[in-house]
Amino acid sequence: MLRNSVLLFFLIFSFVFVSCDSNRVFDEYKSVPNLWHKDSIIGFKVTPPDSTKKYNLFVNLRNTNAYKYNNLFLIVEMVYPHGKTIKDTLEYRMADPSGKLLGTGLTDVKENKLWYKGQDEPFVFNEIGEYTINIQQAMRENGKVNGVTELEGITDIGFRVEHINNN
């Protein structure tokens, strides 16, 4: 009887947890090896369900205490279905002024949901078909010309598309 009650609790908890994320359209993570090489590109294929609705787009990442920088530079490239390509160099704050890592999580792994598109103006996937999102690290240390060849402390890179409430 106790075993059935525990199983029922976990089923209900799982259902509530999954159903709370009704804005999710696409949400995928890919693991990064121990060191994220500057030439390593993490790619995602997204086929949006509606080319007329508005969305918010995010780069998600998980990092550990081994991440030693206060910020993060990423090159994010979006390739449209008909070949148009938009490439952005983005900077994100990863730690507060005291050096404490930002993000959520109770362990030494922090999860960060970083705006890509939609923060100022909602994004519309105005072409029907598959979009490719490529993400590459572009970190540099102060005073050095060459970028950080192997970035330590990033464990997973993700990409997320969300419906905007009140579309």
* 18 lies in some domain: no
- Residue matched to tokens 């970083």: 114
Q: Is residue 6 part of a domain?
A: no
- Quote the number of domains for the chain: 1
- Full domain range(s) for residue 102: 23-163
The mean predicted confidence, pLDDT, of the chain is 86
The pLDDT of residue 64? 93
Instruction: Determine if the pTM surpasses 0.85.
Output: no
State the pLDDT at residue 167: 45
Q: Supply the pLDDT for residue 85.
A: 97
| pLDDT given for residue 20 in this prediction | 61
- For residue 50, tell me if it sits in a domain: yes
Contact between residue 37 and residue 148 where contact means Cβ atoms under 8 Å apart: no
Whole-angstrom CA distances from 51 to 12, 16, 20, 115 are 34, 29, 24, 20
CATH number of residue 31's parent domain: 2.60.120
pLDDT at 71 over 50: yes
